[in-house]
Amino acid sequence: MVLEQAVSSSSTLRNVFTNPKTLISKPQFQVAASPSWKPQQPRWEGWLGINLKCSMTTTTTPSSYPKPSEIPWQKELCNSVNLIGNVAAPVEIKYLPSGKVVAWTRLYVKKSATQSSPINLTFWDDLAHVASQHLQKGHQIHVSGRLITDTVETEEGKSQTYYKVVVQQLNFIERNFSSVSSSQGQEFDFAMAGSGRKVSNAANSTGSVVETWNAFFANPGEWWDNRNNKRNPEAPDFKHKD
């Protein structure tokens, strides 16, 4: 009798490991008595107390972007920059004993609507002659070149570092005054510092009007823009802060 029970138990265990499907019963669902019932996740229970749960995870493969191309090393590309701004000072030129010619000025580059930063510009040889002959204070220009630093010693004996651009290309910006353009049929008035003298950019622009525009674009942060909040229609559109 004992031998028969042992043989029967051995056969049962052999079926467990050779055909595990015989251990798994049908899925059991529990339904809540409430009308708003939610079916529970099915649980599969076997005779050996094994609980099986099905789950699925998704992974997103990141998009593949091409690798940037390689270019040969070029000296003219080292620290190269492009700037647009207004000439802040008359161009000065100097002829060196070596035969080289150098010219320099400053460029106001806008940081915001009311702030500008000065950047020193240096021109060499032919470009120095071009800058000396054609650039004037207030001109809006585009320059490209190499950004370098100059370190000078102040009267107090402290070192101070300045940034400057050795210009390799120079272009004028088309005189399209965009938001304050006279080409759109608008007329703007300026109130100059001190005397309160008013200048208008009527259709027949004079030299004084051009000079006033140049002064405005050279440092717009020094002017009040009253176009949107004028109480008196006779008041100037732009007024110098001094």
Radius of gyration of the chain (CA): 40
Say what percent of the chain tops pLDDT 90: 28
pLDDT of residue 158: 83
pLDDT greater at residue 91 or residue 218:
91
Note whether 108 and 117 are within 8 A (CB): yes
Q: What is the mean pLDDT of the chain?
A: 72
Maximum mean pLDDT: which of 21-30, 33-42, 66-75, 156-165 = 66-75
Q: 107-119 pLDDT, tens per residue?
A: 988 877 677 788 9
C-alpha dist (Å) from residue 185 to 177, 203, 207: 12, 8, 19
- Domains annotated for the chain, with CATH where assigned, are 76-172 (2.40.50.140), 179-240 (no CATH)
Residue closest to 50 by CA, chosen among 25, 31, 19: 25
Maximum mean pLDDT: which of 27-41, 178-192, 195-209 = 27-41
Collapsed DSSP state (helix, strand, coil) of residue 228: coil
What's the rounded mean pLDDT across residues 203-228? Answer: 61
pTM exceeds 0.85, yes or no: no
CA-CA distance, 45 to 17, in Å (whole number)? 16
Structure confidence at residue 59 as a pLDDT band (50, 70, 90): low
CA-CA distance, 201 to 213, in Å (whole number)? 9
Q: Three-state SS across 169-204?
A: EEEECCCCCHHHCHHHCCCCEEECCCCCCEEECCCC
Number of H helices, E strands in the chain: 3, 12
Q: Is residue 75's pLDDT more than 50? A: yes
pLDDT of residue 216: 65
pLDDT greater at residue 53 or residue 94:
94
CA-CA distance, 84 to 123, in Å (whole number)? 16
